[in-house]
């Protein structure tokens, strides 16, 4: 029997995409993939280190994995992803039962690393770079959904925002050739995928070495040209995330206006509304620059949904600074907002700043901002009642067997009555009820 590998994924879409690639490579090398620890010979935890809480979770999970299989002495446990890349050797010190530490650019070498561990090598470690010949191929059976696919277009980050660990865990920005991205889009389309997400830490910083595959497509930046090239394939729904404010060229909005299959949703993390804090965060944009970009989005001929990320309690954030964030959130009226309490990450410049905002104050700011945001969100969600939305029926709802759930083009969760035969179809739904983070409707 082939050895079986169970991969558990934490964190962002980039990790989901890496797990899909890892699974593809493993199956090609003669392994089977399984869906639970109980069946596994090898367990891989694909980890996240963006905040302290996420990182702590890994060590708890390693203990749980071992405890779940007390009888299986030869169960191999590997830590991959951002915690692996950042902590390297130290993972073995923290958790002596770990057999492999696999960095963020070693995905293609996982089968070889497992072989080494199976042959008895203790503490297998690979924090190396990607190989030139490494493949981006993902087998459809390993994708997280049969209807929605993630396509990484750029890896890593060069921005070095002072609070963020990603440039250290993911390395420098590296863009994939456009010809490859367009070819993958076409393959997915032929397989029946209805929606793709172009993903990367900063998709709009996309800058391939040569622009093969983009000939004949206009656009103010390589990313704008890529958007038009991908849209030209005719795949029904194309989303992209995350965008970096400083590099968010207004031509992106023009591309959305020209191509109905580019979805009506922009995720543009602002992090703070205070210029003083934005400078300390080294974001490279001021409040006014950001609001200018938002103006273009809000004034678009299409109604575009807008979402964002904000950090509260950054070192040195005063009541006045926080108030600036509150007024920015009031002004932007986000469809959805992810609020995070600042979490100190060793090795980042902000870790040297005096983290002077007490935890209780961070929590108070979090709750206040959430309240302000909720008021705007409620208004937006209520405005959808009575309107028709195009929804991709992704799966049966976990709440009710007679309900299907999916996303609108504007990336809202929409639930509606319908049977399984509609799974994978794009349907029209009239919204009948607005809930806190989702909409409810009925099929047209
Ligand atoms: N551009 C990236 C951002 C990655 S991190 C992307 O693909 O989304 C995602 C979000 O986590 C950031 O936008 C930020 O709001 C939050 N974050 C990052 N580092 C953080 C830290 N040290 N403490 C709290 N939140 C953080
Ligand atoms: Fe992090 Fe800033 Fe890059 S938030 S991922 S360093 S753009």
Q: What is the mean pLDDT of each run of 10 residues along the chain (444 residues)?
A: 95 96 96 96 97 91 96 96 97 96 96 97 95 86 95 96 97 95 97 97 95 93 98 98 97 98 98 98 98 98 98 98 98 98 97 96 98 98 98 94 96 96 97 96 96
Would you say how long the chain is, in residues? 444
Identify the residue whose tokens are 């070192």: 315
Q: Is residue 256 in contact with ligand 1, taking CB distance under 6 Å?
A: no
Among the four given CATH numbers 3.80.30.20, 3.40.50.740, 3.40.50.300, 3.90.1300.10, the one describing domain 140-382: 3.80.30.20
Q: Is residue 246 in contact with ligand 2, taking CB distance under 6 Å?
A: no
In 10 A of CB 362, how many CB atoms? 20
Q: Nearest CA to 412 among 367, 381, 443, 374?
A: 381
Counting Cα atoms < 13 Å in the Cβ hemisphere of 302 gives 21
Q: Six-digit token pair at 133? A: 């010949």
Of 13, 48, 50, 369, best ligand 1 pocket probe by most atoms within 8 Å of the beta carbon: 50
Domain 388-443 class? mainly beta
Ordered by start, the domain boundaries in the chain are 4-126, 140-382, 388-443
Q: Is residue 198 in contact with ligand 1, taking CB distance under 6 Å?
A: no
Q: Is residue 164 in contact with ligand 2, taking CB distance under 6 Å?
A: yes
Q: Does the domain formed by 4-126 have CATH 1.25.40.10? A: no
Distance 243 CA to ligand 1 centre (A): 12
Give pLDDT, residue 134. Answer: 83
Q: Is residue 162 in contact with ligand 1, taking CB distance under 6 Å?
A: no
Q: Is residue 281 in contact with ligand 2, taking CB distance under 6 Å?
A: no
Farthest-apart Cα atoms in the chain, separation: 64
Alpha-carbon span 245 to 222, nearest angstrom: 16
- Locate the ligand 2 atom nearest the alpha carbon of residue 167 and give its number: 6
The answer to whether the CB of 291 falls within 8 A of the CB of 267 is no
Give pLDDT, residue 338. Answer: 98
CA-CA distances (angstroms) from residue 177 to 24, 218, 220, 379?
21, 17, 18, 42
Residue with the smallest CA separation from ligand 1 atom 3 is 201
Q: Which ligand is nearest to the CA of 15?
A: 1
- Locate the ligand 1 atom nearest the alpha carbon of residue 201 and give its number: 7
Give pLDDT, residue 137. Answer: 86
Cis peptide before 184 (omega within 30 of 0): no
Q: Is residue 167 in contact with ligand 2, taking CB distance under 6 Å?
A: yes
Give pLDDT, residue 3. Answer: 94
Give pLDDT, residue 197. Answer: 98
């Amino acid at each position: 029997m082939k050895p079986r590998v169970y991969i558990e994924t934490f964190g962002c879409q980039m990790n989901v995409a890496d797990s899909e690639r890892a699974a593809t490579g493993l199956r090609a090398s003669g392994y089977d993939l399984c869906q639970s620890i109980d069946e596994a010979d090898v367990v891989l935890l694909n980890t996240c280190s963006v905040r302290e809480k996420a990182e702590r979770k890994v060590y708890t999970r390693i203990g749980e994995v071992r405890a779940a299989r007390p009888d299986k002495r030869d169960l191999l446990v590997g830590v991959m992803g951002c915690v692996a890349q950042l902590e390297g050797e130290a993972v073995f010190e923290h958790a002596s039962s770990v057999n492999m530490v696999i960095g963020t650019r070693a995905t293609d070498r996982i089968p070889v690393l497992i072989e080494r561990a199976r042959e008895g090598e203790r503490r297998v470690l690979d924090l190396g770079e990607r190989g030139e010949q490494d493949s981006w191929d993902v087998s459809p059976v390993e994708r997280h959904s049969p209807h929605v696919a993630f396509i990484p277009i750029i890896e890593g980050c060069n921005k070095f925002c002072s609070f963020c660990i990603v440039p250290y865990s993911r390395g420098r920005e590296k863009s994939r050739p456009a010809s490859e991205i367009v070819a993958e889009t076409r393959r997915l389309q032929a397989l029946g995928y209805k929606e793709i997400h172009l993903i990367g830490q900063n998709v709009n910083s996309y800058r391939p070495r040569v622009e093969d595959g983009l000939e004949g497509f206009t656009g103010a930046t390589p990313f704008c040209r890529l958007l038009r090239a991908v849209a030209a394939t005719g795949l029904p729904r194309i989303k992209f995330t995350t965008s970096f404010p400083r590099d968010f060229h207004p031509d992106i909005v023009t591309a959305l206006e020209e191509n109905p299959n580019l979805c009506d949703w922009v995720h543009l993390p602002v992090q703070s509304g205070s210029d003083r804090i934005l400078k300390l965060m080294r974001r490279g944009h001021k409040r006014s620059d950001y609001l200018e970009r938002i103006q273009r989005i809000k004034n678009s001929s299409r109604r575009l949904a807008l979402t964002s990320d904000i950090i509260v309690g950054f070192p040195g954030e005063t009541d006045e600074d926080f108030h600036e964030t509150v007024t920015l959130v009031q002004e932007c009226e986000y469809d959805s907002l992810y609020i995070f309490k600042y979490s100190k990450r060793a090795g980042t410049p902000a870790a040297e700043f005096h983290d002077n905002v007490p935890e209780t104050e961070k929590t108070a700011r979090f709750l206040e901002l959430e309240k302000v945001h909720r008021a705007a969100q409620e208004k937006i969600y209520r405005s959808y009642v009575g309107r028709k939305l195009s929804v991709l029926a992704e799966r049966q709802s976990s709440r009710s067997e007679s309900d299907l759930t999916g996303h609108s083009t504007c990336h809202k969760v929409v639930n509606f009555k319908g049977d399984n035969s509609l799974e994978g179809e794009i349907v029209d739904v009239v919204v009948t009820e607005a809930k806190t983070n989702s909409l409810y409707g009925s099929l047209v």
